[in-house]
Chain A
Amino acid sequence: GEKVEQHESTLSVREGDSAVINCTYTDTASSYFPWYKQEAGKSLHFVIDIRSNVDRKQSQRLIVLLDKKAKRFSLHITATQPEDSAIYFCAASRGGSAKLIFGEGTKLTVSS
Chain B
Amino acid sequence: GGIITQTPKFLIGQEGQKLTLKCQQNFNHDTMYWYRQDSGKGLRLIYYSITENDLQKGDLSEGYDASREKKSSFSLTVTSAQKNEMAVFLCASSIPRAGYEQYFGPGTRLTVL
* Contacts from A to B (Cβ < 8 Å): 1, 6, 31-32, 34, 36, 42-46, 49, 51, 89, 93-105
Contact = CB atoms under 8 A, between A and B. Distances in A.
Given A95-B99, A104-B41, 15 more contacts: A32-B98, A32-B99, A43-B104, A43-B106, A43-B107, A44-B43, A46-B102, A46-B103, A93-B99, A94-B98, A96-B98, A99-B48, A100-B45, A102-B35, A102-B42
Interface residues of B, number: 26
A83 B107 CA distance: 22
Interface string B94-108: 101111011111110
B63 interface: no
Interface in B12-54: 31, 35, 40-45, 48, 50
Interface of B: 31, 35, 40-45, 48, 50, 58-59, 90, 92, 94, 96-99, 101-107
- Interface SS of chain B: helix, strand, loop or mixed? loop
Contact of A46 (B44, B59, B101, B107): B101
A93 B23 CA distance: 23
Contacts of A97: 98
Nearest to B58: A99
A11 to B, nearest CB: 15
